[in-house]
Amino acid sequence: MFTSAEIGIDLGTANILIYAKNKGVVLNEPSVVAIDINTKEVLAVGHEAKQMIGKTPRNVVPIRPLKEGVIADYDITAQMLKEMLKKVSKTLGSSMRKPSVVICTPSGSTTVERRAIHNAVKSYGAKVVHLIEEPVAAAIGADLPVSEPVSNVILDIGGGTSEVAIISFGGVVSCRSIRNGGDKMDEEIIHFVRKHYNVLIGEKTAESIKMEIGYALIDHEEETMEVRGRDLVTGLPKTITITSTEIQSAIRETLENVLETVRATLEDCPPELSGDIVDNGVVITGGGSLLKGMQEWLSNEIFVPVHLAPNPLESVAIGTGRSLKMIQKLQKVSK
Ligand SMILES: Nc1ncnc2c1ncn2[C@@H]1O[C@H](COP(=O)(O)OP(=O)(O)OP(=O)(O)O)[C@@H](O)[C@H]1O
């Protein structure tokens, strides 16, 4: 018997993930598209396009159509989405003919953009398309008991945005989002290296510095890393050695902004739910939650336990995929 696939899509600023029921995450690629600016033709998407960043001839431009949690270029986002779905259909075969899809769009997207994404997936041939709020998907994917009358606090530190939400009874009680996340940390690292060493480094180098020697604001044993860039005085390639203490000070502002957002959201929490937070704490997810020392730092600052989600880079996609059943149930109840 023909069964159509049930899939969840996390359309993230940094990465796009597709989750298929009974299969898990079947696609995980950077949200990057390489286009020929003369013909507007899409030449590559995902990993292949990311490899091209900073290395392409002038007419080929790798672009990130989703920036700071908003859809900066709708047409290219839609094309990227269709290319990714095509890739998945190679793995899932005929079940991808009329899939049921739940998609999570960036938190900052407008109703018009959400509708446009909905239509792009529908025009790909989807039987039904539902949209879901990112914090709810992240909480479901992190195995939180979202439908119970207890407060679940989730902090999702993504590439473009960081979001904090208090979820209870399947709905969002309070939520705050800021356009600060992993990308902002990368920018701060580029800025720091330019200012203190007169050396220009690229986005990919900044990201690897953050992953290798980036720490949240905690005491730690200092680490060093050799970094290559372009000397702004001589114009020649140069290797410098930077320390984890320097990187910690470079990314301080973003971390403090995230902390402020968490505090403000917790202050909004109805008193009846505050007690649960003391017991259950806050769950952190998203790529930024993998920054070294994040759990310890946050817990020291907000005085409640902080837990790392089981799959921080995949929770939104997993939650999106798992939510289809919940959405269908809710629809039946409301009919
Ligand atoms: N080990 C790590 N340490 C620090 N940062 C990391 C690590 N792994 C990934 N990141 C960062 O996490 C970010 C991507 O996270 P994620 O995939 O959750 O974002 P996204 O869902 O695409 O973005 P958004 O939620 O803004 O739409 C990137 O900035 C990446 O550099």
Answer yes or no: is the C-beta of 205 below 6 A from any ligand 1 atom. Answer: no
User: Can you tell me the distance from the alpha carbon of 38 to that of 6, in angstroms, rounded to the nearest whole number?
Assistant: 38
All structural domains of the chain, each given as residue ranges with its CATH number in brackets, are 6-136+316-334 (3.30.420.40), 148-180+257-309 (3.30.420.40), 182-252 (3.90.640.10)
Tens-digit pLDDT string for the chain (335 aa): 556 788 999 998 889 999 998 889 999 999 999 988 888 888 899 999 988 776 777 788 888 888 877 778 888 888 899 899 989 988 887 767 788 999 987 666 788 888 888 888 888 888 899 998 888 899 999 999 988 888 899 999 999 899 999 998 878 888 898 989 999 999 999 999 999 999 999 999 999 999 999 999 999 999 999 999 999 999 999 999 999 999 999 999 999 999 999 999 999 888 888 888 999 999 999 999 999 999 999 999 999 999 999 999 999 999 998 888 777 665 655 45
Answer yes or no: is the C-beta of 183 below 6 A from any ligand 1 atom. Answer: yes
Q: What is the pLDDT of residues 272-287, one digit of tens each?
A: 888 889 999 999 999 9
Question: Complex ipTM above 0.95?
Answer: yes
**What's the mean pLDDT when you consider all of the chain?**
90
Pick out the residues of the known binding site for ATP: 13-15, 159-161, 207-210, 287-290
Find the 329 Cα to ligand 1 centroid distance in Å: 32
Q: Which residues fall within 8 angstroms of residue 34, CB to CB, at 6 or more apart?
A: 42, 43, 44, 45, 48, 49, 52, 56, 60, 61, 62, 63
Taking the C-alpha atoms of 205, 211, 214 and 219 in order, what is their torsion angle to the nearest 10 degrees?
A: -160
Answer yes or no: is the C-beta of 182 below 6 A from any ligand 1 atom. Answer: yes
